[in-house]
C-alpha cells in the first residue's frame, strides 16, 4: 500500500478534488461581495452618502464593466439600473445582500456534501485495500494477526482518516483564501488595523501548533492502546474456557481494567490540552475585536476611518479567526491522520511472497507419470531450531502415500509443505516442473486440497461449510439496467471494489460433477458419509425442526411415514416400544404436563408450568377439579424427595440429577410438607401452596417414577381437561401450544418426534436402540433417508464450528476437500481424535475414492499401511524412510 497518505489521496481522487477546488474558487467573488455590501449599506444607504447633495433619486444597480484593451476596449452594459430613493435603495441593497447570503450558503452546502462523499469513497477504497493486503499475508504471518485487532484497524482506526480526506486539499484552499480575502479587505480599509489582524493571526499560527505537538503524541498512543484493547477482548473471548476452568477472572479483570485506566489517562491528558488550546484561541478571538473597537474607534473619532469602514472591518475581522483556527485544526488533523495512516499501513505490510509463475503452458493434469519431488526441505521455527531437516522424497504420481511418525517427528511439517500451507522453507517442493511455492493460485487450488488439524469453519450451516470450497466462480452481472444496480456497479468500480455480487451464485457446480444445488446436496451427503459423519448428519436431521410452510411436501410425507412406522411396529411385534399419541387417551409414558397440553410449546423455553399457571388455563383445571388432585400428587412427590434425599447436601450431584426439586426450592417445599403433615395430610387449607405443588406434578411419569400417584379416574379427568384447554385455545385464537394432531405435522417438535408420534415405553431394555434401527429401516423403505440427511445439512455449526465436536469439524473440512475432487489430497491431523479402527476405516474409504488420484495421509501411530503405494517415515525432525511398503513376508 502507498506509504504516503497524500499521494494515496491524490492518486485516487484527483479529479474530484480539482472539481471542488473549482467550485471553491467560483464561490469567492460572492464571498468578497458579501463582505463589501454591509459597508455600502451602512454608508451609502443608511447614512445617505450616495444621496449626498440632496438627491432624491439615484440611478443604482447598474451592471456595467469595462472590457480590457485586447478585446476592443469599450464598455459593456448588462443592466442600465433603475432610479431609487433612499429607502428603496436600502431595500435593494439588503435584497442583494440576502441573495448573496443564500448563494454563499448554497456553495457551502454543496462543498460540504462533496467533501463528505469524496471522503467516504476513499474510505471504502482504503478499507478494501487493507482487506486485500490481509489476503496477501503468508500463512505463517496470518497466524500471528489478532483477529479483533485487524477488525479494529479496518473498521475504527481508518474512520478519522476518511473524515480528513475530503478536507485534505480543499480545506486549506478554501479557508486560506477566505482568511486572506478578509485580511486583504481589512488591509485595504486601514493599514494599521490590517497589521493588527496579521499579528493576531501570526500569534495563533505559531503558538497553537507548538502546544499541540504533545497532543499528537498522545493521539498515537491512544490509537495503539485502543487497538490493543480490542485485541485483548477478542483474545479473552476465545480463551474463555481457560479462564473459567482455572478461575483467573480476577486477573483478567485487573488486566482489562488497567488498560481502560490507561486509555482514560491518555484521554484526560488530551482533553486538558485540547480545551487549553481552545481557551487560548477564543481569548485571542475576543480580544482583537475589543482592540478594534478601541483603536478603530480612536481612528474613527480622529476622522481617518469612517464608521462604515470600521463596521465592515469588524465584520471582516470576525471572519478571520474561524478560518485561521480551522486551518490550524486542519494542520493538527493532518499530522494526526498521517501518523494514523502510517501506523495502519505498517500493520498491514505483509512480507512479499515470491512472485507467482504464470499458469503452466501445458496443463499439469493428468498427473500420470509426473513426480512429486521434495528436495532438501528444511523448516525452522521462529527461533531457528529445525522442525524438519533436509527431507527428500521422490514419488511418481498418482500414488497413495502414507506418512508415519509421532508428534514432533516432522511429519506434520512435511504434510503442510506438500499441502501449500507453508511458505517459509529451504529446499524445493515440485510437481513435475512446477514449483509449488510459486505456482499461480488458480492452478494450485485446483490441484491440491489440504485438510488439517485446525479446520476453519464459518458460522453457517453444515451444507454451506462443506460447499465453501466451490465458491470461486465469479458470477455474471445481471443484464438488467435497473438504476439502483447500475449505480451500485459504478460506485464499486470507482472505489476499486469488486463489481460481482456476493448474493449471486458463486458455486462451481461442475467441479463437483453436478448441475445445481439440489444435486449438490446428494454429493455433500455422500462426501460426509465417506469421512464417517453420515450418522451424525442423520441424527442432526432427526432432531431438527422443519417449517411445514416451506417444505409442505416433505411434512406431508413424514406424516404418512407415521402410519408406516406403526405398521412396522405391529408387524415385528414391537408395539410395546412406543405408546402412540391418541387425543382421547392418556399417554402413560408421557408426563402429566405433556398429557394436559398434548402439544409442544411454540416459544422455546416456556415451561409447561408457566403456561398452565396462566389465569385462563388455570380456570380450566379448576373446572375439571384437577387443582387439588395435582397438588396432592405434588405434595406426595415432595415428601418422597425429602425422604430419599435426606442427608445429602443440596448441591450434591445426585440431587441435581435425579430430584424433582432443585436445591434452591428445597426449604420452601420442606416447609410445605411439614404444614401438610401437621394439617392431617390435607391440603384443603393450604390454598397458596397449590400452584407450587401442582408444578411438581407436571413432570411426573408413572412408569418412570413409580410412585403410584395416578389413578384411572385422574387420568380420565386429565384427558377431559385437555380437550377443554384445546377448545378454549381455539376459541381465543391462542397459539402458545402447537397441538398434536394425528394427521398433521407439528412444526414445534423435532422430526423424530413427528415420525414416532408417541412416547418410548419406559422400562423396556434397549428400546431406544431398537426404535432407532426400525426408524432407519422404515425411512429407507419410504425413500425418505435422503430427506433426513438434507435436513441434517441445515444444522448450524456456530462461530468457528463451536457447536460441533473437534472430530466433526475435522470431518467437515475433509468433506469440503472431497467435494472439489482435487488431483492431490493431503490429510494431516484430521483423523487425530478418532480411534485407530475408525480412522483406518475412513482412510480405506478415502483410498477408494481417490483410486487413480493422489492421496497423502498421515496414519495413526499403530496402524499398518496396507494398500499404500509409498510409505514415508519420520522421526525427530528427519525423514527416515521413503519407499514402497515392505511386502508381507511369505507364509
Partner 1 sequence: MTLDNEVKSLQALPMFRGVEPAKLKLLAFASERLSYRAGDRFFRQGDVSDSAYVILSGGVDVLLETGADRIRVAQIPRGSIVGEMGVLSGSPRSATIEASEATEALRIRKDLFFDLLNEFPQIAVAVMRDLAVRLEKTNAQLSALRKG
The residue ranges that bind partner 1 (CB under 8 A) are 640, 643-646, 648, 652-654, 657-658, 703-708, 762-766
* Closest CA relative to residue 834, chosen from 795, 861, 802, 854: 861
Report the alpha-carbon distance of residue 332 to residue 335 in Å, rounded: 5
Report the alpha-carbon distance of residue 375 to residue 396 in Å, rounded: 14
**Cell (9 digits) for 54:** 440632496
Kindly tell me the burial class for residue 103, based on how many C-beta atoms sit within 10 Å of its own C-beta (0-12, 13-18, 19 or more).
Answer: middle
Whether the CB-CB separation of 399 and 870 falls below 8 Å is answered with yes
Angle between helices 191-238 and 170-189 (to 10 degrees): 160
Give the residue carrying C-alpha cell 406403526: 566
Coil, strand, or helix at residue 854?
strand
Whether the CB-CB separation of 23 and 107 falls below 8 Å is answered with yes
Q: How far is the CB of 838 from partner 1 (least distance, A)?
A: 14
C-beta of 210 vs 653, nearer to partner 1: 653
C-beta of 88 vs 575, nearer to partner 1: 575
Q: How far is the CB of 673 from partner 1 (least distance, A)?
A: 15
* Closest CA relative to residue 394, chosen from 377, 378, 381: 377
The partner residues of 402 in beta bridges, in order of sequence, read: 857, 871
Whether the CB-CB separation of 85 and 56 falls below 8 Å is answered with yes
DSSP string, 151-206: HHIIIIITHHHHHHHHHHTHHHHHHHHHHHHHHHHHHHH-HHHHHHHHHHHHHHHH
Report the alpha-carbon distance of residue 176 to residue 172 in Å, rounded: 6
C-beta of 766 vs 890, nearer to partner 1: 766
Q: How far is the CB of 700 from partner 1 (least distance, A)?
A: 12
* Closest CA relative to residue 640, chosen from 620, 665, 615, 669: 669
Q: How far is the CB of 658 from partner 1 (least distance, A)?
A: 4
Handedness of CA 719, 720, 725, 726 (dihedral sign): positive
For the chain, what's the residue count?
891
C-beta of 99 vs 707, nearer to partner 1: 707
C-beta of 109 vs 706, nearer to partner 1: 706
Sequence-distant (6+) residues with CB within 8 A of 341 are 5, 8, 158, 161
Q: How far is the CB of 566 from partner 1 (least distance, A)?
A: 21
Handedness of CA 579, 581, 583, 588 (dihedral sign): positive
C-beta of 466 vs 697, nearer to partner 1: 697
The half-sphere exposure of 342 on its side-chain side, counting CA atoms within 13 A, is 8
Q: How far is the CB of 586 from partner 1 (least distance, A)?
A: 18
Q: How far is the CB of 636 from partner 1 (least distance, A)?
A: 11
Q: How far is the CB of 426 from partner 1 (least distance, A)?
A: 48
Q: How far is CA 445 from CA 372, 421, 520, 829, in A?
A: 16, 12, 20, 20
Q: How far is the CB of 706 from partner 1 (least distance, A)?
A: 5
C-beta of 535 vs 616, nearer to partner 1: 535
Q: How far is the CB of 647 from partner 1 (least distance, A)?
A: 8
Q: Rounded to a whole number, what is the distance in angstroms from the first to the last CA of the chain?
A: 68
C-beta of 263 vs 642, nearer to partner 1: 642
C-beta of 76 vs 644, nearer to partner 1: 644
C-beta of 653 vs 731, nearer to partner 1: 653
Give the residue carrying C-alpha cell 412396522: 568
C-beta of 336 vs 702, nearer to partner 1: 702
Report the alpha-carbon distance of residue 864 to residue 883 in Å, rounded: 14
Q: How far is the CB of 766 from partner 1 (least distance, A)?
A: 7
C-beta of 394 vs 704, nearer to partner 1: 704
Kindly tell me the burial class for residue 852, based on how many C-beta atoms sit within 10 Å of its own C-beta (0-12, 13-18, 19 or more).
Answer: exposed
Q: How far is CA 421 from CA 132, 380, 443, 716, in A?
A: 19, 14, 15, 68
C-beta of 56 vs 643, nearer to partner 1: 643
H/E run at residue 786? helix 785-792
Q: How far is the CB of 652 from partner 1 (least distance, A)?
A: 7
C-beta of 319 vs 702, nearer to partner 1: 702
C-beta of 247 vs 766, nearer to partner 1: 766
Report the alpha-carbon distance of residue 800 to residue 785 in Å, rounded: 28
Q: How far is the CB of 774 from partner 1 (least distance, A)?
A: 16
Q: How far is the CB of 571 from partner 1 (least distance, A)?
A: 18
C-beta of 276 vs 707, nearer to partner 1: 707
Sequence-distant (6+) residues with CB within 8 A of 425 are 377, 378, 379, 417
What dihedral angle (degrees, nearest 10) is formed by the CA atoms of 479, 480, 486, 489?
-30
Q: How far is the CB of 679 from partner 1 (least distance, A)?
A: 23
Q: How far is the CB of 654 from partner 1 (least distance, A)?
A: 5
Q: How far is the CB of 521 from partner 1 (least distance, A)?
A: 34
Whether the CB-CB separation of 747 and 546 falls below 8 Å is answered with yes
C-beta of 574 vs 675, nearer to partner 1: 574
The partner residues of 881 in beta bridges, in order of sequence, read: 873
**Cell (9 digits) for 724:** 377443554
C-beta of 573 vs 886, nearer to partner 1: 573
Report the alpha-carbon distance of residue 2 to residue 711 in Å, rounded: 84
The partner residues of 879 in beta bridges, in order of sequence, read: 874
Q: How far is the CB of 707 from partner 1 (least distance, A)?
A: 6
Amino acid at each position: 500500500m502507498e506509504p504516503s497518505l497524500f499521494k494515496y489521496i491524490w492518486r485516487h481522487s484527483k479529479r474530484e478534488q480539482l472539481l471542488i477546488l473549482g467550485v471553491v474558487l467560483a464561490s469567492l467573488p460572492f464571498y468578497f461581495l458579501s463582505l463589501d455590501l454591509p459597508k455600502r449599506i451602512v454608508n451609502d444607504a443608511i447614512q445617505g452618502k450616495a444621496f449626498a447633495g440632496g438627491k432624491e433619486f439615484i440611478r443604482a444597480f447598474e451592471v456595467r464593466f469595462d472590457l480590457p484593451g485586447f478585446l476592443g476596449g469599450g464598455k459593456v452594459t448588462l443592466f442600465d439600473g433603475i432610479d431609487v430613493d433612499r429607502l428603496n435603495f436600502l431595500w435593494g441593497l439588503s435584497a442583494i445582500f440576502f441573495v448573496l447570503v443564500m448563494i454563499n450558503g448554497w456553495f457551502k452546502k454543496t462543498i460540504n456534501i462533496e467533501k463528505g462523499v469524496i471522503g467516504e469513497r476513499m474510505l471504502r477504497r482504503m478499507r478494501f485495500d487493507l482487506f486485500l493486503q490481509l489476503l496477501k499475508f503468508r500463512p505463517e504471518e496470518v497466524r500471528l494477526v489478532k483477529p479483533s485487532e485487524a477488525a479494529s484497524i479496518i473498521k475504527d482506526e481508518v474512520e478519522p482518516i476518511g473524515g480528513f480526506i475530503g478536507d485534505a486539499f480543499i480545506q486549506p484552499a478554501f479557508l486560506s483564501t477566505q482568511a486572506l480575502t478578509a485580511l486583504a479587505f481589512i488591509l485595504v480599509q486601514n493599514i494599521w488595523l490590517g497589521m493588527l489582524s496579521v499579528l493576531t493571526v501570526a500569534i495563533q499560527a505559531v503558538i497553537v501548533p507548538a502546544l499541540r505537538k504533545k497532543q499528537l503524541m498522545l493521539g498515537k498512543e491512544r490509537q495503539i492502546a485502543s487497538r490493543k484493547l480490542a485485541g485483548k477482548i477478542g483474545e479473552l473471548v476465545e480463551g474463555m474456557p481457560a479462564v473459567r476452568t482455572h478461575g483467573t477472572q480476577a486477573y483478567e479483570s485487573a488486566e482489562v481494567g488497567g488498560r481502560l485506566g490507561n486509555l482514560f489517562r491518555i484521554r484526560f491528558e488530551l482533553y486538558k490540552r485540547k480545551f487549553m488550546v481552545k481557551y487560548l484561541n477564543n481569548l485571542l478571538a475576543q480580544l482583537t475585536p475589543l482592540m478594534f473597537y478601541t483603536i478603530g474607534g480612536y481612528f474613527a473619532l480622529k476622522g481617518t476611518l469612517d464608521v462604515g469602514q470600521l463596521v465592515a472591518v469588524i465584520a471582516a475581522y470576525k471572519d478571520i479567526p474561524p478560518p485561521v483556527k480551522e486551518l490550524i485544526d486542519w494542520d493538527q488533523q493532518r499530522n494526526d491522520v498521517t501518523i494514523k495512516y502510517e501506523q495502519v499501513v505498517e500493520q498491514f505490510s505483509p512480507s512479499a511472497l515470491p512472485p507467482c509463475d504464470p499458469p503452466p503452458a501445458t496443463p499439469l493434469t493428468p498427473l500420470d507419470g509426473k513426480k512429486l519431488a521434495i528436495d532438501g526441505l528444511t523448516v525452522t521455527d521462529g527461533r531457528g531450531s529445525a522442525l524438519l531437516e533436509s527431507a527428500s522424497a521422490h514419488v511418481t504420481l498418482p500414488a497413495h502415500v502414507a506418512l508415519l511418525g509421532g508428534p514432533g517427528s516432522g511429519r506434520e511439517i512435511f504434510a503442510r509443505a506438500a499441502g501449500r500451507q507453508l511458505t517459509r522453507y529451504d529446499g524445493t517442493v515440485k510437481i513435475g516442473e512446477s514449483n509449488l511455492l510459486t505456482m499461480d493460485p488458480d492452478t494450485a487450488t485446483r490441484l491440491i486440497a489440504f485438510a488439517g488439524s485446525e479446520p476453519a469453519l464459518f458460522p453457517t450451516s453444515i451444507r454451506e461449510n462443506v460447499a465453501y470450497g466451490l465458491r470461486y466462480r465469479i458470477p455474471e452481472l445481471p443484464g438488467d439496467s435497473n438504476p439502483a444496480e447500475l449505480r451500485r456497479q459504478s460506485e464499486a468500480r470507482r472505489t476499486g471494489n469488486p463489481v460481482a455480487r456476493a448474493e449471486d451464485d458463486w458455486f462451481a457446480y461442475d467441479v463437483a460433477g453436478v448441475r445445481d444445488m439440489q444435486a449438490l446436496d446428494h454429493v455433500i451427503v455422500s462426501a460426509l458419509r465417506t469421512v464417517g459423519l453420515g450418522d451424525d448428519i442423520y441424527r442432526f436431521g432427526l432432531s431438527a425442526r422443519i417449517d411445514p410452510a416451506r417444505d409442505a411436501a416433505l411434512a406431508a410425507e413424514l406424516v404418512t411415514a407415521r402410519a408406516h412406522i406403526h405398521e412396522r411396529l405391529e408387524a415385528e411385534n414391537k408395539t410395546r416400544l412406543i405408546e402412540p399419541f391418541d387425543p382421547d387417551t392418556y399417554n402413560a409414558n408421557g408426563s402429566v404436563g405433556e398429557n394436559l397440553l398434548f402439544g409442544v410449546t411454540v416459544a422455546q423455553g416456556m415451561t409447561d408450568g408457566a403456561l398452565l399457571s396462566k389465569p385462563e388455563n388455570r380456570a380450566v383445571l379448576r373446572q375439571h377439579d384437577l387443582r387439588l388432585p395435582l397438588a396432592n400428587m405434588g405434595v406426595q412427590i415432595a415428601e418422597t424427595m425429602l425422604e430419599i434425599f435426606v442427608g445429602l447436601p443440596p448441591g450434591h450431584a445426585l440431587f441435581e440429577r435425579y430430584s424433582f426439586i432443585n436445591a434452591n426450592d428445597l426449604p420452601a417445599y420442606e416447609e410445605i410438607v411439614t404444614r401438610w403433615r401437621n394439617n392431617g395430610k390435607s391440603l384443603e387449607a393450604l390454598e397458596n401452596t397449590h400452584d407450587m405443588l401442582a408444578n411438581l406434578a407436571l413432570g411426573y411419569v408413572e412408569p418412570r417414577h413409580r410412585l403410584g400417584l395416578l389413578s384411572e379416574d385422574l387420568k380420565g379427568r386429565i384427558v377431559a381437561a385437555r380437550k377443554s384447554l384445546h377448545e378454549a385455545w381455539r376459541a381465543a385464537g391462542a397459539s402458545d401450544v402447537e397441538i398434536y394432531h394425528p394427521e398433521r405435522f407439528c412444526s414445534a417438535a423435532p422430526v423424530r418426534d413427528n415420525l414416532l408420534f408417541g412416547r418410548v415405553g419406559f422400562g423396556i431394555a434397549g428400546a431406544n436402540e431398537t426404535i432407532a434401527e426400525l426408524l432407519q429401516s422404515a425411512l429407507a423403505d419410504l425413500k425418505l433417508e435422503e430427506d433426513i440427511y438434507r435436513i441434517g445439512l441445515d444444522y448450524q455449526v456456530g462461530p468457528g464450528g463451536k457447536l460441533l465436536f473437534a472430530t466433526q469439524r475435522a470431518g467437515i473440512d475433509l468433506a469440503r476437500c472431497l467435494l472439489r475432487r482435487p488431483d492431490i489430497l493431503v490429510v494431516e491431523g484430521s483423523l487425530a481424535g478418532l480411534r485407530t479402527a475408525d480412522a483406518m476405516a475412513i482412510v480405506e474409504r478415502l483410498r477408494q475414492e481417490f483410486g487413480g488420484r493422489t492421496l497423502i495421509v498421515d496414519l495413526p501411530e499403530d496402524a499398518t499401511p496396507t494398500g499404500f503405494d509409498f510409505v514415508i517415515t519420520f522421526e525427530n525432525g528427519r525423514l527416515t524412510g521413503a519407499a514402497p511398503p515392505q511386502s508381507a513376508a511369505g507364509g
